[in-house]
Every structure is written in structure tokens, then in C-alpha cells.
């Protein structure tokens, strides 16, 4: 039948049409697939086909249509990828590059890293331990038995299901952990996060960071402690920094002291940071109480030690002139990006 021949011819024509440009592809589309295409006309001729052949004819022209569509699609993709490639060759290599958004280290981290660097130079090594502690390591072993009034100095977060488990209130717990597993000489620095159930304000937060130091060996003296802290203060705050040691009380040290440094901003003249006293408090320290050594099975007749604990946020606030402790945990990148250029070590 004539219409069947027409379909076969059309299929041949579709296969043989040479298409070398997007323009000739468009002509192909209009001719074979457009709304007034030859194929449409052929579809119209189904009326003249006897009923028993209608099905076969339908299949035949559908195959023709499919061949046209496939050829069109294939060439379309080829032309598109060619255009993309030629775009690449038109790249302007003289154009200035995009700058990468680099991150910055957090001021709290910067202060901790600087402390670690300084103490490393005199033989201290970093020891870290858990933030969720048991009562023994956070309190009792440090000479703070259950009924000790000094426990009130540190408002504690208890894990409610298990009141013997706490979020550590200080990094002094790491002292106990290390003395438990290591024999003297011990010379460690423990930076880490601590938690206290305190109202959040511009000056205090319910979590902050401390750096704990511990040195235990034969013949460790209070003079060694003072020398070590003097060295740290001069390295951290500047070589002309003086330290002042005031007697204090901590259950885990005897004697205990608090240490001030001469104000690194006004050098003693009086300013807002030192509240016009010329001095700023930076840490608590003392000689490790023999009872604490014994709690960790260290012979207190043979060994002695000193310890100290520094609040990191306080120092970061002073050092970078920050007025509100809360910005340190808000993760506002506009604030954090100020620290991009700070290099440690
Ligand atoms: N743990 C004390 C606190 O959180 C700080 C401290 C004081 C640590 C004296 C010490 C120390 O190691 O000897 O307030």
C-alpha cells in the first residue's frame, strides 16, 4: 500500500538527513516533528487505511516518529556540549580569581593554644580527659568530701538520673585522672571545657574553659611554682610583667594562692581592664595537698607538687578588649572574623 511505502521512505529520509549545524537541526525538527510536519500528514492518512491494517500502520508511523525524535535528541545534546566546550576556550584567564573565605580560630582557642605553647617549652605535656565526671574525680579526691562547704563555691550541674555524676566544674579533675594512671614525675597541662550552674550574664557563663597545670616530682617547691608562673606571665603578657601572689584557699592545695599580673594594658597606671588597681587576677594555685597525692596513691613523703588553674575566657576578654563573655559562644561570624589575622606560636 502506498501509505506504507511513504512511511518507509520517510524513515530512510530521516536516517539519511545530514545535520551539521544547530540551524539544520532546527530545519529537521520543523520538517519531521513540527506541528505541520510530513509525519503529521502521514498520521492523517490513517483514515484511508483498511481497518485490519490500521494497527500495523499505526505502529509503523510511531516507529518513524520515534526515530526522528531520537535523532533530534542525540544531535541536540551533541551541539549543546560543543557550545559548552567552546565557552571554556573563551575563559578570560586574566580575570582576578575569586578569593576564598578562610575561617579564623576562636579567641578562646587562641588563648589556650598560646598557653600550651608556652608551657610546652618548659616540659609540660597536654593531657585531656572527660567533661562528664564522677563525684570522686571532680570533688572527693580533691579533698572536697560530700559535706564540705567549699562545694558550694562551685554550683554544680548534676546528671539527674545519677547524682554521683556531674559535668565537671573545673579541670582539676584531670589532675586526679592523670595521677591515677601515671607515676611522678608528672608535668601536665590540661585545657578544657568546664560547667557551672550560674546565671548567664556579661561577666559569667554556665560553661567556660580552664587550663589546669600540675607538676609532681621529688622536691617540688613553692619557689618552683612562682618561677613557673613568672615565666608564663612574662611570655604571655610581655617581658616587663610582674606577678603578685595573694594568700587564698582551695581545698586541694596547701598553701593556696591567687595570682595577679601587672596590668598589661596600662602597665600599672590604672585603666578599665584593671579597674584602676594596676593589677588583674589571672589564676588560682598552690602546693598540692598531701591528702590529694595520697588519694591518688602517690607517696606524699617522697613527692610534692604544685598546681594551678587559669580561667581562659577572662584572659581572652581582657586580651582582646571584649566586654561581654556571651559573644564568645554565640558563633557570630562577624565577630569571629576579627581573629583571622591572629597567628599563634
Ligand atoms: N579549680 C579551681 C577553680 O576552678 C582553680 C584552681 C585553683 C586550680 C588552685 C588549681 C589550683 O589547680 O591549685 O576555681
Q: Could you tell me the distance, in angstroms and rounded to a whole number, from the CA of residue 250 to the centre of ligand 1? A: 7
pLDDT of residue 87: 64
Q: What is the mean pLDDT of each run of 10 residues along the chain (345 residues)?
A: 85 91 92 87 86 90 92 92 74 85 89 97 97 96 87 82 90 98 97 95 94 98 98 95 96 97 84 86 97 97 98 92 92 89 65
d(CA 6, CA 340): 75
Q: Closest residue (by CA) to atom 3 of ligand 1?
A: 170
pLDDT of residue 35: 86
> Residue length, the chain?
345
d(CA 209, CA 310): 8
Q: Which domains does the chain have, with CATH numbers?
A: 2-89 (no CATH), 107-339 (3.30.930.10)
Q: Closest residue (by CA) to atom 12 of ligand 1?
A: 308
Q: Closest residue (by CA) to atom 2 of ligand 1?
A: 309
Peptide bond into 113 cis (omega under 30): no
Q: Residue 192: which H helix or E strand, with range?
A: strand 186-195
Q: What is the reported pTM?
A: 0.72
pLDDT of residue 345: 53
**All 3 cell numbers of residue 65?**
516518529
Q: Closest residue (by CA) to atom 8 of ligand 1?
A: 309
**All 3 cell numbers of residue 15?**
536516517
The binding-site residues of ligand 1, defined as CB within 6 angstroms of any ligand atom, are 170, 172, 212, 250, 253, 284-286, 307-309
Instruction: State how beta strands 125-126 and 186-195 pair.
Output: parallel
Q: Are 303 and 287 in contact (CB under 8 A)?
A: no
Cell numbers 536516517 correspond to what residue?
Answer: 15
pLDDT tens digits, 241-270: 999 999 999 999 999 999 999 988 888 788
Amino acid at each position: 500500500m502506498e501509505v506504507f511505502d511513504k512511511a518507509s521512505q520517510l524513515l530512510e529520509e530521516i536516517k539519511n538527513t545530514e545535520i551539521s549545524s544547530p540551524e539544520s537541526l532546527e530545519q529537521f525538527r520543523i520538517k519531521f516533528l513540527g506541528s505541520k510536519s510530513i509525519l503529521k500528514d502521514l498520521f492523517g492518512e490513517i483514515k484511508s487505511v483498511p481497518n485490519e491494517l490500521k494497527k500495523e500502520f499505526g505502529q509503523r508511523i510511531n516507529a518513524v516518529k520515534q526515530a526522528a525524535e531520537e535523532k533530534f535528541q542525540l544531535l541536540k545534546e551533541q551541539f549543546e556540549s560543543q557550545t559548552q566546550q567552546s565557552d571554556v576556550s573563551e575563559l578570560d584567564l586574566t580575570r582576578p580569581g575569586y578569593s576564598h573565605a578562610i575561617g579564623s580560630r576562636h579567641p578562646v582557642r587562641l588563648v589556650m593554644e598560646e598557653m600550651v605553647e608556652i608551657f610546652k617549652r618548659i616540659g609540660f605535656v597536654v593531657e585531656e580527659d572527660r567533661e562528664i565526671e564522677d563525684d570522686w574525680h571532680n570533688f572527693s579526691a580533691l579533698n572536697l568530701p560530700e559535706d564540705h562547704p567549699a562545694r558550694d563555691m562551685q554550683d554544680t550541674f548534676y546528671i539527674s538520673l545519677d547524682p554521683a555524676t556531674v559535668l565537671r566544674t573545673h579541670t582539676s579533675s584531670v589532675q586526679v585522672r592523670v595521677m591515677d594512671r601515671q607515676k611522678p614525675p608528672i608535668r601536665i597541662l590540661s585545657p578544657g571545657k568546664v560547667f557551672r550552674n550560674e546565671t548567664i550574664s556579661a561577666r559569667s557563663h554556665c560553661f567556660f574553659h580552664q587550663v589546669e597545670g600540675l607538676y609532681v616530682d621529688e622536691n617540688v617547691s613553692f619557689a618552683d611554682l612562682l618561677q613557673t608562673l613568672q615565666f608564663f606571665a612574662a611570655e604571655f603578657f610581655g617581658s616587663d610583667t610582674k606577678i603578685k601572689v595573694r594568700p587564698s584557699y582551695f581545698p586541694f592545695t596547701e598553701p593556696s594562692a591567687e595570682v595577679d599580673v601587672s596590668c598589661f594594658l596600662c602597665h600599672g597606671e590604672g585603666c578599665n581592664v584593671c579597674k584602676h588597681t594596676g593589677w588583674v587576677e589571672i589564676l588560682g594555685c598552690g602546693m598540692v595537698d598531701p591528702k590529694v597525692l595520697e588519694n591518688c596513691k602517690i607517696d606524699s613523703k617522697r613527692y610534692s607538687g604544685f598546681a594551678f588553674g587559669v580561667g581562659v575566657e577572662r584572659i581572652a576578654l581582657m586580651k582582646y578588649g571584649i566586654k561581654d563573655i556571651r559573644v564568645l559562644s554565640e558563633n557570630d561570624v562577624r565577630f569571629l572574623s576579627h581573629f583571622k589575622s591572629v597567628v599563634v606560636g
